[in-house]
Amino acid sequence: MQQETFKLSNGLKFPKIGFGTYKTTLNNDAEIIELAIKSGYKYFDTASFYGNEQFIAQAIANSGISRKEIFLASKLWKSEMGYENAKHALEQTLRNLGTDYLDLYMIHWPRPDLKADWKRIDIETWRAMQEFYESGKVRAIGLSNFLPHHIENIIQNCEIKPMVNQLEIHPGHTQESAVNYCKAHDILVQAWSPIGRARVLNDELILELAEKYQASPAQICVKFCVQKNIMPLPKSSNPERMRENLESLNVNISQEDFWRLDTMPPLGWGGEHPDRERLS
């Protein structure tokens, strides 16, 4: 049971580590999510784009754990942006997840496509998000893959500020400018791919620190985020690794080693930038 929490600007508390669900239901079943619940995860990050909301609902129902003890976060996709579309998107997501509220709802990407008038579309979409928050259908509203110039457009034109922004963050890819902007605006940053899709696990510094702290390389990556006050959303299909990642809260990286990790050479990234065509 995780006790430690991150607090959002509206006072809501999230567990320090959540479970990322992208591609965890490729077999079209609830098995991996069920294993994650058994491993102790309480927070599940999904998106309409992942196509797995119904499996998460199934896993929670099978677990017998009450909905109130679980945190559910989802995102509306590029094709669901705009005021009316967003309303339909939330209703569909709530139906898929078998719930009448979300703990967090986000806009998945700032630009529906590179040619669209994204500033206007983001503001319209955010108007719907604010209504969802005010109606109690979602306990927090946020963004995903938004950079400072995208967030600023929302902040300049909104009543309710975003509470969360989700970014790709791991050692060797820390998006300092975006993270600093979020912190200055009291926006909790969440990290997708906090272990760099396992690519970063053989880096010499990460291996050195894993040995020093009697931890696994993945634990160094997950705890690195937590020590940066960023909420990591690691993914795994393996129950031992799921637990290992949760237990990274027990690893205490010294300030000196944290600085070394925070300033290490770039280790690559997932290749998705909101203002560019996909690299891969």
Q: Which residues make Cβ contacts (< 8 Å) with residue 62, sequence separation at least 6?
A: 30, 34
Residue 156 CA to residue 154 CA, distance in Å, equals 6
CB atoms within 10 A of CB 213: 18
Q: Closer to ligand A2P at the Cβ: 163 or 222?
A: 222
Choice among 41, 43, 50, 181 that is catalytic: 50
Which residue's C-beta sits nearest to ligand A2P?
A: 218
Q: Closer to ligand A2P at the Cβ: 198 or 264?
A: 198
DSSP collapsed to 3 states, 83-141: HHHHHHHHHHHHHHHCCCCECEEEECCCCCCCCCCHHHHHHHHHHHHHHHHHHCCECCE
Nearest approach, Cβ of residue 16 and ligand A2P (Å) = 16
Buried b (16+ CB within 10 A) or exposed e, 131-146: bbbeeebbbbbbbbbb
CB atoms within 10 A of CB 164: 24
Nearest approach, Cβ of residue 200 and ligand A2P (Å) = 8
Q: Closer to ligand A2P at the Cβ: 204 or 256?
A: 204
Residue 169 CA to residue 105 CA, distance in Å, equals 20
Nearest approach, Cβ of residue 185 and ligand A2P (Å) = 26
Q: Which residues make Cβ contacts (< 8 Å) with residue 69, sequence separation at least 6?
A: 42
Q: Closer to ligand A2P at the Cβ: 81 or 261?
A: 261
Nearest approach, Cβ of residue 152 and ligand A2P (Å) = 28
For the question of residue 43 being annotated catalytic, the response is no
Beta-strand pair 141-144/104-107: parallel
Q: Closer to ligand A2P at the Cβ: 74 or 193?
A: 193
Nearest approach, Cβ of residue 87 and ligand A2P (Å) = 31
Q: Which residues bind ligand A2P (CB under 6 A)?
A: 20, 193-198, 201, 216, 218, 234-238, 241, 244-245
Known catalytic residues are 50
